[in-house]
A and B are shown apart, each in its own frame.
Chain A
């Protein structure tokens, strides 16, 4: 009886948990078959997700970064919103070109930032690819096993790079290297798939835990 009192949605908190449980079960019902409950909660989810993000956008972004500076004397921020609103001209056939100014600024900024991103991300990785492949004594402490690992690393790296060459027909040794690259890619993709399977199982375990622990209180 006590369990039943705790289980039923007799408080706000329990009602929230019940709603979460009903949503979970309704969305999982697609696994049985397409049904109206899934469609209802699918649309509810879409609407809720869109509406939820509006709150932080207005409160944390527009209010904090546009309204407050504007009211504290930074009058130039007044131009920010109209400039952003120019994007809506994309709906106009006659004035659609106005939206391209905004899009151009966004793309230009990303393109410029990308140079720094490329240098910071990939150049250190190229540098880290300079691995010794034979223990010659020039590298103290390099074990044969590490050298073999490094050799495999270099072979895989170069063969995968060869696979992604498009400006000439691949024949002979180049084609064989590219085929090796594709095999190595598939092995790596299999490992990534395994990782992702783990992620999916974890999310499912999380939901089942919610149903069994938070809702049914069996754990």
Chain B
């Protein structure tokens, strides 16, 4: 009877207690982090190698389509990618399909470029620029694919596109080497479908959207993919840098352990309670 009560109580535990345990778990591992090396997956390696093979002054488009809701996953990815592009001396432009991302991604790009050792990136417009907000990504990609300055008339600061030093010599997306889609939503099919054929595509989705990416990886329509925060951690490790990915990975890993524990206990309690009821 005593044993039966324990299992029944376990099934009926108030979910608010579980939320509290989860919060404390995350807080503890954020406050007391330790080094946790990442196992580098081949999609992350693929994206890293693709960016690493860029030459100085190669043009890269970063399609940043996330909002504050997914900042925890997309911000570390964007920071790691921008740091790598700076390291390679590549030129990059950002474009956003989400209103909040226009400001968020610009703020992050300013932060990373200003704190970099490469002085060429300290001045906006020289080696990087933000092309602003576009409502219809399909129209924007097709437009940029034929004529960049017609499709995106001004950058986010109001400067005409053809007056930006970063885009000297670039008439359209055909002059870009790569596009990296940092997104929590389904924008990848648009880039794959409507880009110029020579433009290779990298993907930095939230973990939710990663499942879609595997089919494109298999068919080589994507060169690589970093999945959410874990992907950002892998990318940082490949670069030999520490960033938000490193800071968060302990908390995420051990929150998963906690969830597994809850699932195991919950199922065990359900089985034992049913068995006890059956015996009774």
Q: Which residues of B contact A174 (CB under 8 A)?
A: none
Stretch at the interface among B44-52, B82-90, B174-182, B221-229: B221-229
Contact with A120, one of B19, B194, B230 (Cβ below 8 angstroms): B194
Q: Given the known A-B contacts A53-B99, A212-B27, are A199 and B192 also in contact in the complex, defined by CB atoms under 8 Å?
A: no
Within 8 A of B (CB), among A73-131: 113, 116-117, 120-121, 124-125, 127-128
Compute how far the CA of A113 lies from the CA of B142 in the bound complex, rounded to whole angstroms: 10
Contact with A201, one of B215, B218, B252 (Cβ below 8 angstroms): B252
Q: Which residues of B contact A8 (CB under 8 A)?
A: none
Within 8 A of A (CB), among B185-220: 189-190, 192-194, 206-208, 210-211, 215-216, 218-220
Q: Which residues of B contact A61 (CB under 8 A)?
A: 133-135
| Chain B residue nearest in CB terms to A61 | B135
Q: Does B39 contact A (CB under 8 A)?
A: no
What is the predominant secondary structure among interface residues of chain B facing chain A?
helix
Q: Given the known A-B contacts A128-B220, A202-B73, are A113 and B31 also in contact in the complex, defined by CB atoms under 8 Å?
A: no
Compute how far the CA of A170 lies from the CA of B141 in the bound complex, rounded to whole angstroms: 43
| A196 x B207 contact (CB < 8 A) | yes
| Chain A residue nearest in CB terms to B103 | A56
9 contacts between A and B (CB under 8 A): A53-B100, A116-B194, A191-B211, A196-B208, A197-B259, A198-B228, A202-B207, A202-B228, A205-B251
- Given A31-B19, A120-B192, A206-B72; 11 other pairs, CB 8 A cutoff: A56-B99, A60-B133, A60-B134, A113-B138, A191-B211, A197-B259, A198-B230, A199-B207, A204-B255, A205-B72, A205-B229
